[in-house]
Structure 1
Amino acid sequence: MDILNGYDIIIFDCDGVLLDSNKQKSDAFKITLKDYDNNYIEDFLDYHKNNGGISRYEKFKYFLSNILENKFEETTYKVMLKNFSKNCIELYTKVDMTEGSLKLLSSLSEKKCFIASGSDQEELIEVFKKRDLDKYFNGIFGSPTPKNEIIGNILENNIGKALMIGDSIQDYKAAFINNIDFLFVKKYSEQNEMLIKECEEKSIASVNTLLELVG
């Protein structure tokens, strides 16, 4: 756990970092949009995978306004959000944790740990309570608040050196905006090649799984 030495605050992304849920979340989007033409769905899934960490609120707006090129309809938008929420709660209840995540969380009692996710905050809190995982965190935060704002709020209310652990470009950008260090978890990322290149160019630390952080 040498990488974590010197940090007082550890901020985790959720999907692909704590939960092995990236693929299943893509499936949840696909199910939610099943009544649309497959070409539109595939375009959206490409957008979704290239923009991990951005909330569903922004992604569904993008689908309606940019991919369908329709006038934004509030009713359709709300139905999408409701259906996707139902699919996600089922997903989060069943999905496996990532390799080493539970062991790592159990070892971090002397640090302040938080979740800063693009997933819906109320869903995350509900699911983490059901899975008895909320006890490991000082706060669980998600959308609709943007991730960079979540991190900013955490830093404003907690004193100490902070590290963001994530698996997407958006996670990295949110850490950069808030002037804190970033650690890339590679194994479950849908942006693997993109972030590996970024990490190599900027000497950013990375691990394959969280198990490498457990002493």
Structure 2
Amino acid sequence: MDMFKKYNVILWDFDGVIMDSMPIRDLGFKEVLKEYPQEQVDELIAFHQHNGGLSRYVKFRYFFENIRGESITDDEVLRLAGKFSEVMLSLLINNDLLIQDSVQFIQDNYQTYNMHVVSGSDGRELNYICAQLGLDKFFRSIHGSPTPKKDLVRQVLLDNNYNNAEVVLIGDSVNDHEAAQHNAIDFTGYNNVHLHELGSYVTSFNSLV
């Protein structure tokens, strides 16, 4: 616990940190984009896996504009994101997908720290999933896309008048690290060995007890 003794606030990413949902989200992109060439979808999946903290809205736009070289309207992005959400809600209400290491830490320490979720996942979908799985009671607030993560973090800091020096963001992607840097708060990596080089890293929350 010494690792977090300087903090009063913990901001949590969700996918890959609280829930092992990335493989399910892979399936979601494949299902929604199944009419497109496999190699293009595979390229999107690679982008998605490397940029876990980005929203599905950004990823669908990337698929069309960067991979297919086509323009796409905001309405079409919203339509695809809606289909994606339907797939997610059918698969993610599943306790077996929770990462017990981090969830146990949250359950044991939510009264010690002010905890919030700041995720690239859709905000309404995320609040529903957390409520269905009984996680919502551990967090002071739960935030998701389409608002970019760096803006979500900034809003949480402003709304609660937090001292930045007492806040840490725990995430599993370079996008999480960038959101922390952008807001001048600390970052701790988790569940992604490539984040070791960025500094603070938790291999197991159980080892902190």
Determine if the TM-score, normalized by the shorter chain, exceeds 0.5: yes
Q: Could you say what the CA RMSD is over the residues aligned between the two structures, in angstroms?
A: 1.5
Aligned counterpart, 2:16:
16
- Which residue identity is paired with 1:155? L
Indicate yes or no: 2:183 matched with 1:184.
no
C-alpha distance in structure 1 between counterparts of 2:117 and 2:7, whole Å? 16
Q: Against the structure 1 CA distance between its residues 141 and 74, is the aligned structure 2 distance closer, same or farther, given a 3 Å change threshold?
A: closer
Q: Unaligned regions of 5+ residues in structure 1, if any?
A: none
Do the aligned partners of 1:99 and 1:209 also contact (CA within 8 Å) in 2? Answer: no
2:124 to 122, 125, 132: 122
Partner SS, residue 116 of structure 1: strand
Q: Is the 8 A contact 2:171 2:177 kept in 1?
A: yes
Which is worse superposed, 114-123 or 90-99? 90-99
Count of aligned pairs between the two proteins: 204
| TM-score w.r.t. length of structure 1 | 0.89
Report which stretch shifted further, 75-84 or 106-115: 75-84
Q: Call closer, same or farther: CA 1:75–1:9 in 2, change over 3 Å.
A: closer
Q: TM-score, with normalisation over the residues of structure 2?
A: 0.91
**How far apart are 1:74 and its partner, in Å?**
4.5
Structure 1 residues 4-13 or 100-109, which shifts more? 100-109
Taking a change above 3 Å as real, the CA distance of residues 67 and 132 of structure 1, as seen in their structure-2 partners, is same
In structure 2, runs of 5+ residues without a counterpart are none
Q: How does 1:61-210 map to 2 (within 5 A)?
A: 61-74=61-74, 76-94=76-94, 95-108=96-109, 109-158=111-160, 159-160=162-163, 161-186=166-191, 189=192, 192-193=193-194, 195-196=195-196, 198-199=197-198, 204-210=199-205
Q: Distance in 2 between matches of 1:210 and 1:97?
A: 14
Provide runs of 4+ in structure 1 moved above 4 Å: none
Cα drift, residue 82 of structure 1: 1.4
